[in-house]
Amino acid sequence: MTSKTTVKTLLILGASGDLTGRLLLPGLAGLLASGRAPGLRLVGAGSDPWSPEQWQDRVNTAFAAASNASEATGRADLAAVASTTEYHQVDVTADGPLAELLSRLEGPVAIYFALPPHVSQKACEVLHRDQLPPGTRLVMEKPFGSGTESAHELNKTLAALVPEDRIHRVDHFLGKATVLNILGLRFANTFLEPVWNRDHIEKVEVIFDEDLALEGRARYYDTAGALRDMVQSHLLHIMAFLAVDAPATVEERDLRDAVATVLRASSIKAPYAHSTRRARYTAGTLGERTVPDYVAEEGVDPSRNTETLAEVRVEIDNWRWKGVPFILRSGKAMGRRRKEAVITFRPVPHLPKGFSGVDSPNQLRIGFGPDVLELDVDVNGPGDIFSLDRASLVAQLNAAGMLPYGEVLEGILNGDPLLSVRGDTAEDCWRIIEPVLRAWESGDVPLEEYDAGTAGPAGWPTAVVD
Ligand code: NDP
């Protein structure tokens, strides 16, 4: 049973960090502005000797845009949080200081570990269950562990502190309205379900290509790469939403069970030179900007052979999907920004003689930014009435709403882990990816190159399919 208690204090560890400034505080601002987090107290902590004013400045800066837009209640909530927030200098890896800080906070507390992963792990190891205020929730960022075994060990450490339903493993893609829309699209419309299977679908692609390069994030990115950073977490979850059977409810237990069932049936099959590809960008141009070779970027260690473009073919071994490739791809410094799922249907079994003009199968595209739904269909065109033309049925998805981190925080503060990754699923995502990481490390799959600003190495983006 999920214990739904409202969090009184949000404690952000890593208050001076990039995630806090760029994503967490703006997400929180949107949530407060909507009036959906009344009475919250915000406490920041970190190893920096910040003055209270420095932290308050950071909070005010992040809250400024939201306070212009919000209603009176939201503005009052933003002002209350900004004026009462505190900052504490704490080494979270030392035995004692974090527990001491927790003892002074009004519970229930949500502890947000916006820290480097190894620091979060150590901080959890030095905490004890009896040091946590009743109802404490632990919020862990990605990457959750560095492989199946370390994720399992981290799960054990967390389980010694609080029950599973009070652990929130953040994947902020689960807070994106268009990702959640996949479920509404699939389960609230009768026309899709009969064709949503191996009999009618040829392949499914989930593509997240960015037209941005490293943007000064070498310290993190160079140790992660595209496969760990995007595919291992975000794209596998989008794939799971596209592939799940209808859950009994869209509540936490049923939906997360359904997602876990799909991921347990999923794997990437060897030989990996056939089912995966990796590449790294070299110098090129992105719009007006010149981008240097990835290996020439500050902070990059060329000996790590980090990929900036990864593509894998996942197979889901169940009745619905056996034999249908799910191709997941993400790249940096690509010529075209593309964030979408593309469902390609099988060709019609027979086209009556006399029709002409059909040369590609129907496709459904679910765009994650711009948020759009597009179905390509063939229809009688003008002129020769049996010469078919390709037309697109386009629906703009009105997904404007809270930032993904706002949605995720709302779940955390209200004690609902629906939009968090469950422990077994976090391990399963590593189980799927780990053999590929090993094969890539041992050089089984060549690291190709592509010029920044292009569509990838020659031959890409044609998907890896038999
Ligand atoms: P940063 O390196 O920018 O920030 C880390 C923070 O942790 C700093 O405030 C740092 O303080 C603090 N810190 C480090 N050691 C200690 C310690 N012993 N005690 C207390 N505080 C400490 O990292 P990010 O903000 O980029 O990332 C944080 C987490 O979020 C990571 O797990 C990352 O993978 C994840 N993430 C980040 C995203 C992003 O866009 N940045 C996106 C998605 C996930 P100090 O500077 O004083 O050392």
Q: Which of 19, 141, 332, 420 to mutate for ligand 1's pocket (most ligand atoms within 8 Å of CB)?
A: 19
What are the binding residues? 47, 91-92, 142, 172, 176, 210, 229, 332
- Between the CA of 119 and the centroid of ligand 1 the distance, in Å, is 9
Span 105-149, pLDDT tens digits: 999 999 999 999 999 999 999 999 999 999 999 999 999 999 999
Tell whether ligand 1 has an atom less than 6 A from the beta carbon of residue 48: yes
- Between the CA of 13 and the centroid of ligand 1 the distance, in Å, is 8
Span 204-246, pLDDT tens digits: 999 999 999 998 889 889 999 999 999 999 999 999 999 999 9
Report the CATH fold assignment for 174-402+419-451: Dihydrodipicolinate Reductase; domain 2 (3.30.360)
Q: Which of 115, 168, 212, 229 to mutate for ligand 1's pocket (most ligand atoms within 8 Å of CB)?
A: 115
Tell whether ligand 1 has an atom less than 6 A from the beta carbon of residue 46: yes
pTM: 0.94
Residue ranges per structural domain of the chain: 9-141, 174-402+419-451
Q: Which of 118, 234, 237, 274 is catalytic?
A: 234
3-class secondary structure per residue, the chain: CCCCCCCCEEEEECCCCHHHHHHHHHHHHHHHHCCCCCCCEEEEEECCCCCHHHHHHHHHHHHHHHHHHCCHHHHHHHHHHHHHCEEEECCCCCCCHHHHHHHCCCCCEEEEECCCHHHHHHHHHHCCHHHCCCCCEEEECCCCCCCHHHHHHHHHHHHCCCCHHHEEEECHHHHCHHHHHHHHHHHCCCCCHHHCCCCCEEEEEEEEECCCCCCCCHHHHHHHHHHHHHHHHHHHHHHHHHHCCCCCCCCHHHHHHHHHHHHHCEECCCCHHHHEEEEEEECEEECCEEECCHHHCCCCCHHHCCCCEEEEEEEECCCCCCCCEEEEEEECCECCCEEEEEEEECCCCCCCECEECCCCCCEEEEECCCCEEEEEEEEECCCCCCEEEEEEEEEECCCCCCCHHHHHHHHHHCCCHHHEECHHHHHHHHHHHHHHHHHHHCCCCCEEEEECCECCCCCCCCCCCC
ipTM over 0.90 threshold: yes
Tell whether ligand 1 has an atom less than 6 A from the beta carbon of residue 142: yes
Binning pLDDT at 50, 70 and 90, where does residue 78 land?
A: very high
- For 9-141, CATH number out of 3.40.50.2300, 3.40.50.720, 2.60.40.10, 3.40.50.300 equals 3.40.50.720
Q: Does 350 participate in catalysis according to the annotation?
A: no
User: What does the pLDDT read at residue 459?
Assistant: 75
